[in-house]
Amino acid sequence: MSFEEQADFASQVADLNKYGQALNRCESVEEVVSLTLEAMSILFDTPYTTFVEVRNDELRVVHSTNPELTAGEPPDAVAREAFETGETVTVTGSDARTDASTETTAALAVPAAIVDEVTAVLVMRSTTKEGFDDAYVRPVEILASHAATAISNIRSRERLERARQDIETKKEMIELYDRLLRHDLGNDLQVITGFSEALVDMVDGDESARYAERIHEAARSSADLIQRVGDLVSTLEGEEEPAPRDLASILERTVNEVRTQYDDITVVFDSDEFEHTVYAGELLGSVFTNLLSNAAVHNEGTVTVRIDAEETADGIVVGVADDGDGIDPAVRDELFEMGEKGPDSGGSGFGLGFVRALTESYGGGVTVGESDAGGAEFRVRLQRA
């Protein structure tokens, strides 16, 4: 008999939905584990239930009513098979046993996955049943889906909180450097700029005048750099805490602005693909403005940029890929450092550093690689709200 054909089908679905709602209110993975095992024991009346958590492709038993399994240790073969295949696994007889001396007759392992990423495996074992049919498999799969969503949401909140703490520490360091630059070095540069400007008017001879002019230009350039750093710090300090934002509307507005500003760029973008809500501040649009502007400015001739979205267990990844000249792999990692820029760049070197600082403050991040068209491809990771 299938799950849907059971006489108590409606009642069991209602119970599963109640547990699903309760799981979504859990504040920790430990709460999810406890509630899931409670549901498995009460709804399915099996003696042995096990919750296996998956982190970074590593599996460990979190809790089990099976005396043969110990918390903190790797699970048995049936759980690993469910994880590796991403499919529900049922076994009977000796294959269902964790130990040759046990009386287990059947085992069921269900991967708890969200967007094809397994976050946990739920395992049930029986000492009386000859096997687990659809009447057991389907409801356990529904429960596993609820558990996967709850774990994903908890991990997203944990990453967002770590990002907030990290960005606060970084802001404190930036503020310290900002004060030192503006006060100490800034004052000295004002003196150098003033005297060098006077010296340019006073010296005689082409060589002496050229040296004095170089001193003056270097001092003025350094003062401008300090001002840009100060402006960046002020911008970051004024950024609000991440909040749910509509990704499609932000990207649509940004793309329209870039299309208006640059004649040599074609942006391939379908707003219907970005119907997602993400955690971000009001400066999220500036992240994509920087990336699109870079494609327009740092490539010869016309350039086409494609923007796509990929849904992951962690959130949303926005790809910004162009068919331009690309970025030398040797300098890709350095591009996100504040003040770093490519050898042929005429910019300040703060654009991509700004992009990284913002995305990390939202609990996400940014990477760069080569696009399918041979140009550059930036991947912006954002937390799903």
Q: What are 328-369's pLDDT values in tens digits?
A: 888 887 887 755 555 454 444 457 887 888 888 888 899 999
Q: How confident is the model at residue 261 (pLDDT cuts 50, 70, 90)?
A: confident
**Residue ranges matching CATH 3.30.450.40 in the chain:** 3-160
pTM (predicted TM-score): 0.57
Given a cut of 70, whether residue 167 has pLDDT beyond it is no
CA distances from 228 to 71, 90, 173, 222, 243 (A): 53, 62, 17, 10, 27
How many Å apart are CA 263 and CA 256, to the nearest integer?
A: 12
Selection from 7, 352, 317, 363 nearest residue 167 by Cα: 363
Please check whether residue 3 is in contact with residue 135, taking contact to mean a CB–CB distance below 8 angstroms. yes
Q: How confident is the model at residue 190 (pLDDT cuts 50, 70, 90)?
A: confident
Confidence (pLDDT) at 273: 92
Rg (CA), the chain: 29
**Residue ranges matching CATH 3.30.565.10 in the chain:** 242-385
Mean pLDDT calculated for residue range 221-242: 67
Confidence (pLDDT) at 385: 80
Q: Chain-centre distance of CA 10, in angstroms?
A: 38
Q: What is the dotted CATH code of the domain comprising 242-385?
A: 3.30.565.10
How many Å apart are CA 50 and CA 70, to the nearest integer?
A: 10
Confidence (pLDDT) at 181: 63
pLDDT digits (tens, 9 = 90+) for 42-57: 888 788 999 999 988 8
How many Å apart are CA 385 and CA 378, to the nearest integer?
A: 22
CATH 3.30.450.40 fits 3-160, yes or no: yes
Q: How confident is the model at residue 223 (pLDDT cuts 50, 70, 90)?
A: confident
Half-sphere exposure of 99 (CA within 13 A, CB side): 7
Phi, psi of 372 (to 5 degrees): -65, -25
